[in-house]
Structure 1
Amino acid sequence: MKAATISQLKKTLVKLDHDALLDACLRLAKSKVDNKELLTYVLMKSVDEPAYVAEVCDEIDEQIPAAKTIHKKTLRKIVRVMDKRIRHSGDRETELQIRIYFCRQFVDRGIRFGNCRVSANMYASQLKKIEKAIERVHPDLQFDFRQDMRGLDTWIR
């Protein structure tokens, strides 16, 4: 089965009554955990974006090991979860706050990548994503986020 386009889905959803729309949302939430997480964000978490950022940062803290080195599998898992949470929000400021916090944890905790070039490249790709996202926010915010980034780019050298 080929999926319908967003505009087709929107036109169909507009025609549904309240009960049918509620049923469709519940069926969607039951089908996949990702759908349920997105629906949770949209309905409950999006009203308080700073609390959502704090919650995601707490998740990152729990997943980063206390040791001074990190395995690439662990790093991949953290980045995958972090990217999913950022996609749920869709807000550039939220994305920047989360990514900068993630990178700052490596500097603050003194975590090294050792000889693992893959982990160092994943960290470098986060820095590139931060730079791209900074370009898309308001110029006043760009200065603030660049200040937050101080010292992060020299960490992988």
Structure 2
Amino acid sequence: MKIESIVTIKKELKHHTKDELLELCLRLGKFKKENKALLTYLLFEAHDEDGYVLSVKSTLDELFEGINTDSYFYMKKTIRKILRQIRIYSRYSLKKTTEIELLLYFCERLNELRPSIHRNTTLSNLYQRQIESIKKKISVLHEDLQYDYNLQLQELQ
């Protein structure tokens, strides 16, 4: 099966009725968990970005509470899983500030972990890569936002 481009799909969707579009969206939501999560964001949370960020942070808190700190091996696996979740949640929201806030929160929570992640080379490198990523993302924002986020970033370093 050949997968069509977004432009072609958009043109085709214009030829469908409102009821047919509703049915297509519902069917899309049933197909995959990520599609359902994106539809949930678009319908219920896109209008309140701050509320969305808070709900994601509470989800991240739950994931951080579940980290097995007995071994760095288990910590690495769980931390990478949390980072994947952040990337998914950030993709739903097209706002760069949402991704920056979530990554800053992630780094803040990493610093609070005991035993310290800085005793492990892999976790320390992962942390540094996230800091560099945040710096790059901040550099494309408006100057006022850059200043605010750079202050938060300096606290982490």
TM-score relative to the length of structure 2: 0.89
> In 2 relative to 1, CA 111–54 (structure 1 residues): closer, same or farther, beyond 3 Å?
farther
Aligned length: 153
Which structure has the higher relative contact order (CA within 8 Å, separation 6+)?
A: 1
- The reply to whether residue 5 of structure 1 matches residue 5 of structure 2 is yes
Residue 105 of structure 1, CA deviation = 1.5
Partner of 1:141: 145
Give the structure-1-normalised TM-score: 0.89
In structure 2, the CA distance between the partners of 1:114 and 1:139, relative to structure 1 (3 Å rule), is closer
Query: In structure 1, what is the equivalent of residue 129 of structure 2?
Result: 125
Structure-2 residue corresponding to 1:23: 23
User: 2:116 aligned with 1:112, yes or no?
Assistant: yes
Which has the larger displacement, 61-70 or 34-43?
61-70
Shift of 1:109: 4.7
RMSD of equivalent CA atoms: 1.9
Distance in 2, Cα, partners of 1:111 & 1:134: 29
Match of 2:99 in 1: 95
* SS class of match (2:97): helix
State the alpha-carbon separation in 2 of the partners of residues 114 and 152 from structure 1.
13
Q: Which has the higher helix share?
A: 2
1:52 is matched with 52
- The Cα of 1:62 is off from its aligned counterpart by 1.1
Structure 2 spans left out of the alignment, 5+ residues: none
Distance 1:51 1:58 in 2: 11
Q: Pick the aligned partner of 1:78 from 82, 104, 109.
A: 82
Aligned residue identity for 1:124 = Q
Structure 2 equivalent of residue 34 of structure 1: 34
Shift of 1:80: 0.7
After superposition, the Cα gap between the structure-2 partners of 1:109 and 1:76, relative to the gap in structure 1 and judged at 3 Å, is: closer
- Aligned-pair CA distance for 1:116: 3.3
Pairing 1:152–2:153 present:
no
